[in-house]
Copies of this chain bind each other. A is one copy, B any other.
Amino acid sequence: MTTPSATPDDKRQRILAAALTVFARQGVHGTPVPPIAAAAGISVGGLYRYFASKEALVNAVFQDTKQALATHLLTDLNLTTLDRPLFNKLWCRLADFARHHPDAFRFLELQDHHSYLDTNSRLSEWQLLMPLRQLIEQGQQAGVLSQHLRPEVAMALFWGAFVGLFKAQRLGYLELDSDDLRQARDACWQVLSHAS
């Protein structure tokens, strides 16, 4: 009989959470392994029992976090058509995630990932974007969204705009209040629905 806190899965999760935090704050290349282990309350050697290498750990963090975002965003939603209420809901959840998990959001948008991300991680990028892209496609076919933009382009513009908003806030160019968020949401909706 083991204590619940010593479950292997628990440890794995603790390591992933600790790694996410320090990676988001110091960058992947800027973070040695020992501080990650320390933040997870584990020894260095212990960490290597759960992850074969630092690279494997980064990839696990990436996939785990991507999955967390996907779950946060899409759980219990009817994704058949992208109408206005659904869009608002999605926006709301996105903003919620960016606000309450800033480390996770920041980590996912780090741009020097490509030097250590493996194929699986690259695939997991799509797992989130693909459903959204399909939603846009369906919306266009249903006539709810404008057909002037190819779905991929619309997707890229929308996602970029959202990321840019929170990046600007993180860099101190901007303070976002709820009015700003609502207006930004409406502007993005307009791009998707009325692009002419």
Contacts and interface: CB of A to CB of B under 8 A. Distances in A.
Interface residues of A, number: 48
B171 A125 contact: yes
Identical copies in the complex: 4
Interface of A: 26-30, 106, 109-112, 115, 125, 129, 148-150, 152-165, 167-169, 171, 173-174, 176, 180, 183-184, 186-188, 190-191, 194-196
A164 B174 contact: no
A91 to B, nearest CB: 13
B165 A163 contact: no
Contacts of A125: 171
Contacts of A28: 29, 112
A188 to B, nearest CB: 7
A128 B42 CA distance: 45
Contacts of A165: 153, 156-157, 160
Contacts of A158: 161, 164
